[in-house]
Amino acid sequence: MRRLAKNLGLYLILIVLVVSLVNVFLSPTENPPDSQVISYSQFLSAVDTGKVNTVNINDSVIQGEFTSGESFKTYVVGVGDLAKQIADKGVDVKVEPPQKTPWWAAILSSLFPTLLLIGVWIFFLYHMQGGGGKVMNFAKSKAKLFLDNRPKVTFGDVAGCDESKEELSEVIQYLRDPSKFVALGARVPRGVLLLGPPGTGKTLLARASAGEADVPFFSVSGSDFVEMFVGVGAARVRDLFEQARKYQPCIIFIDEMDAVGRHRGAGLGGGHDEREQTLNQLLVELDGFDETTGIILIAATNRPDILDPALLRPGRFDRHIVVDRPDVKGREAILKVHLKDKKIADDIDLGVIARRTPGFVGADIANLVNEAALLAARQGKKVVEMDDFEEGIDRVLAGPERKSRLISPREKNIIAYHETGHALVAKHLPGSDPVHKISIIPRGHMALGYTLQLPEEDRFLMSKLELENKICILLGGRVAEELEFGDVTTGAGNDLERATQIARQMVMEFGMSDRLGLVKLGHKRHEIFLGRDIAEERNYSEEIAYAIDQEIRSIIDSCYSKVRQILTDNSEDLAKVAKTLLEKEVIEGKELDAILGMEEESPAVDELETGDSVKEKIPNPDIEDKTSYGADSIAGDNPDTVPV
């Protein structure tokens, strides 16, 4: 009966359609099947000549029989005195009263268009909302309520972000036992905003909060508030908080907050749109909490720069928790979490893997562990070995091997010298990260070869010398081609682009130009609705722009001269390593040291005594230094920082 009630609208439409079709197509036959149809003039002529025997007049239809016994039928508009005239001719006339339309047919005929429109509207809503049970539930929130079925994830399953867990633990403890906070006059934050790059575990932290907290948990995505109908988003926000008040104390989690919390008034053609009304209602609900309320709002986003300032002020989102990329210890802890249910060899060194994966976030490490397990299973191994992790890291960074790609011996020789040039320059520059691997095996979409450097520690500051060294290493491949073959190829295109970008940042952002001094030149404008970094505001003159170009060229030329001198002085080593690379295709760092007759060095970098710094303004040192031949980009670079 409940199912029948839910689909009553559809059944009503079907009944109306069936009755209408029956009324139209199954009406009774008006004349015998063998009667002939004659014109009205023929009928009058037959009456005048006495050939008509009987006539039956029914509204505008005249049926009768000739004296010869044949039946006929004709039509007339307005009978008038026709029956009397025919009777005067001696014809047997029978007049039937007009048939009355049944009351139900009259009602259906008058209401049928209206019912049809209503039925189409209900049918449309039925399919747009995903079923008859949601036909009229526009304003209902789509949040999922977890009571006894809360996620099983706990803080023990989250690693690499101890500070974030500690701050969330305070919120959970307040919900469990607010008395010790109230006794000191403390007020719990009304909103907690989780910020950080994609894949760092923001949503996982929220799920762990639900698993730790013994309170109801509402989970909803920011896009669930946005709808094509006006006013629906604001109504869903109201309904969500009305439901939460019934279950307080509780937690509301909104994932991808930037979908509903974007900056107001920045759209084209004015800012009064449906999304802004949803945000306005959310602001009202956040600010309308009672002091004694037990509702905590947790939101996650990787785009805090586009959120509305009113959403970030104290009293709404009081606490901002940054979930950043994990350091070496954090990556090792994340590896332990993901390896709990994996069969691994006894000689697996998680510390080495953690050092081998700088810049990896939690999602990257989970993908790495899965890739290593897949590689081991593909080779029929019983356990995952260290070689599988090494190959998995290469697959995540540069893509899968493409040994089937046919490369001519000449091009393979050029690639070998190119990658050897990168490696030799890195080995002879003090303070550079050690070379971990050189390969001329094609990987991914565009990489024909690559050189990997493994940082010995996580660093957050880079000196001018280190940046110049990176430019030199990037130019090493191009200079090696020029020295060996007397010609250059297009394979160094990405190297030149990245070297120029570092040099430009040194001049315009980091104040590392003696000529231009300690100034920051240019200002990037983040147009929220027109794309990211779509324009750069020039706050300098044409004369300064010319000086910038000269300084960038000066840095590049100086590094080029240094690289050319290094490779010229070590031309024999260049040929020796390139020949070995052609034979083996892959050279590890220790093998390279053996070929060059060098002991493994760990050059110390002078510590910098500096004040506070903003990490986003320097090239990201967490990412492995990757130089590749013929590759526009290699997977694994942090898109929010400069690839180096």
- Output phi, psi for 384, to 5 deg: -85, 125
Give the CB-side neighbour count of residue 343, counting CA atoms within 13 A: 6
Distance between CA atoms of 55 and 60, rounded to whole angstroms? 13
Task: Look at the alpha carbons of 19, 22, 23, 24 in this order and tell me if their dihedral is positive or negative.
Answer: positive
* 366 and 338 Cβ atoms separated by less than 8 Å: yes
Would you state the structure tokens that stand for residue 471, as one six-digit string? Answer: 């430019």
* 205 and 194 Cβ atoms separated by less than 8 Å: yes
Of the candidates 371, 419, 468, 624, the residue annotated as catalytic is 419
Residue 43, class by beta-carbon neighbours within 10 Å (0-12 exposed, 13-18 middle, 19+ buried)?
buried
581 three-class SS: helix
Distance between CA atoms of 441 and 428, rounded to whole angstroms? 25
* Extended beta strands in 38-90, E state: 52-58, 61-66, 71-75
Distance between CA atoms of 224 and 236, rounded to whole angstroms? 9
H or E element that contains 417 = helix 409-428
* 628 and 414 Cβ atoms separated by less than 8 Å: no
* 260 and 275 Cβ atoms separated by less than 8 Å: yes
Give the amino acid at 600. Answer: E
Task: Look at the alpha carbons of 479, 482, 488, 491 in this order and tell me if their dihedral is positive or negative.
Answer: negative
* 577 and 430 Cβ atoms separated by less than 8 Å: no
Catalytic residue list contains 256 = no
Question: Which sequence positions are flagged as catalytic?
Answer: 419
